Structure 1
Amino acid sequence: MTMTKEEILKAYHFRHATKEFDPSKTISDDDFEFILETGRLSPSSFGTEPWRFVVVQNEQLRNKIKSSSYGAASKLPEASHFVIILARTPLDMRYDSAYLKEQQSKEVPKEQLTRRLELLEEFQRHDFKLLDHERFLTDWAVKQTYIPLANMMMAAAQIGIDSCPIEGFDIEKMNQLLDEEGLLEDGHFTISVMLAFGYRKKEPRPKIRRPFDDVVKWVK
């Protein structure tokens, strides 16, 4: 079924960074799998898919996250579902890594793989200069995780589910916690952003955005 433009914009107006969730309401398994699938199907640079979605429903781990993240403190444990989006580190994101060789082999026919990897190296080394500093490859991966982040929030809004993206945490402390939980796979992942889902406890204030003509500039 095709949604109308009005229906799509209605979802965009509906979506807001929900500060308080109703703890009495739970997202169905079917609805949440749908939300996760929209994240999985998101596009990525060179088809790298440099992300992992960790769905945290364990109460003990949720309490640890709540204690380590001021941004999550008001969302947990009330949120129906809580997702930590991880980004792959240079161990996987460098052009000659085992992960990218395997991933690129899915993107192109075998006879084109060598050329594809050469293009990827050119992109990383010269175009975006991602090899100049180890942090740049991590940042490249982290930036891409915001594509599925947005897609999952909007998919949720389209079916009447609320969400809130969370950056309010100390990266080093959260990585230490996640590493202790065995979720970072020996340095192959790092935390990028977190995302709470559920149903709003109260209606939000009206959405405020800058005027259209201030945000959009046409070059003709």
Structure 2
Amino acid sequence: MKDIQDTTGIQAAIIEAFNFRHACKVFDPERKISEPEFATILEAARLSPTSFGHEPFKILMIQTPEKRELLREFSWGANGMMNGTTGQLGTASHFGIILASTAQTMTAGSDYLQDFYRQVKQLPDEVIEIFNGAYGNFQQSDHKITTDREISDWAGKQAYIVLANMMTTGALMGIDSCPIEGFQMDATSQALEEQFGVDPKLYKPAVMFAFGYRAADPEFPKTRRSMKDTVSWF
């Protein structure tokens, strides 16, 4: 393992990747991400942290042009309507949706979570009892997330952690990406149920994403607030 004190090169690579990354609106349709590279991006997603380690998300990859076209009418952030192209739906090497879990599985004490604790987390019964109590308090008292909408929104927050790690991993490999919130929620949910077999009682769409290689460099330089306006130290 690399000496943890010798991090200068790693730091430079990280900052370079973040400066490289931008919300890519149009990809080069002729360039495809290799299978091993995208497997690395998906592994970064799988290994991402989530609240209580509950992994309240699922990734739906949509690769065939025919399936992508089913989303075009109501996915204005991905259909190119704002730039006169076929958008990310038409040009991305890889396109997908991160689904957020609902209250049916993510309510404290649910059968799903009991099985998850035993089968995935491999926790003993006494620790599961602790988890049930702590997570129950978290939902009922600490954050007051008890309705299906509140729990799905909480799960959506975890989905964004996952997507951030996917995009950073891609950028470190010189792969472009775009997070996409520009879609009609109800129409997307209906299409997911009717065309992709997603049970709306179990999952709701959180965010779309696209990966590939840019067709052109960004027209404008990256701008952000200064560090002093971003971070306060006490």
TM-score bin (small chain): over 0.9
CA shift, 1:48, in A, is 0.6
Q: Which amino acid aligns with 2:22?
A: H
Equivalent-residue separation in structure 2 for 1:177 and 1:113 (angstroms): 37
For 1:19, which of 11, 19, 25 is the aligned residue? 25
The change in CA–CA distance for 1:142 and 1:186 in structure 2 (over 3 A counts) is closer
Equivalent-residue separation in structure 2 for 1:185 and 1:33 (angstroms): 26
The change in CA–CA distance for 1:183 and 1:86 in structure 2 (over 3 A counts) is farther
1:213 aligns with 2:228: yes
Counterpart in the other structure of 2:105: 92
Which SS does the other structure have where 2:95 is aligned? strand
Equivalent-residue separation in structure 1 for 2:92 and 2:187 (angstroms): 22
Which SS does the other structure have where 1:76 is aligned? helix
CA shift, 1:183, in A, is 3.5
> Cα RMSD over matched residues?
1.3
Q: Is the 8 A contact 2:100 2:203 kept in 1?
A: yes
Q: TM-score, normalised by structure 2?
A: 0.89
Q: TM-score, normalised by structure 1?
A: 0.95
Equivalent-residue separation in structure 2 for 1:137 and 1:100 (angstroms): 14
1:137 aligns with 2:154: no
Which SS does the other structure have where 2:90 is aligned? coil
1:122 aligns with 2:147: no
Q: Which amino acid aligns with 2:15?
A: L
CA shift, 1:60, in A, is 1.2
| Residue ranges of structure 2 left out of the alignment (5+ in a row) | 3-8, 80-86
Matches within 5 A, 1:49-68: 49-68=55-74
Matched pairs, number: 218
Q: Which amino acid aligns with 1:64?
A: L
Q: Is the 8 A contact 1:69 1:170 kept in 2?
A: yes
Q: Which amino acid aligns with 1:95?
A: A
Q: Is the 8 A contact 1:86 1:191 kept in 2?
A: yes
Counterpart in the other structure of 1:163: 177
Q: Is the 8 A contact 1:19 1:75 kept in 2?
A: yes
For 1:178, which of 182, 185, 192 is the aligned residue? 192
Equivalent-residue separation in structure 1 for 2:127 and 2:227 (angstroms): 44
1:10-29 deviation digits (Å, cap 9, x = unpaired): 00000000011001100001
1:40-79 deviation digits (Å, cap 9, x = unpaired): 1000111110011111012211011122211110112110
Counterpart in the other structure of 2:6: none
| Residue ranges of structure 1 left out of the alignment (5+ in a row) | none
Counterpart in the other structure of 2:164: 150
Q: Is the 8 A contact 2:189 2:200 kept in 1?
A: no
The change in CA–CA distance for 1:26 and 1:182 in structure 2 (over 3 A counts) is closer
Counterpart in the other structure of 1:195: 209
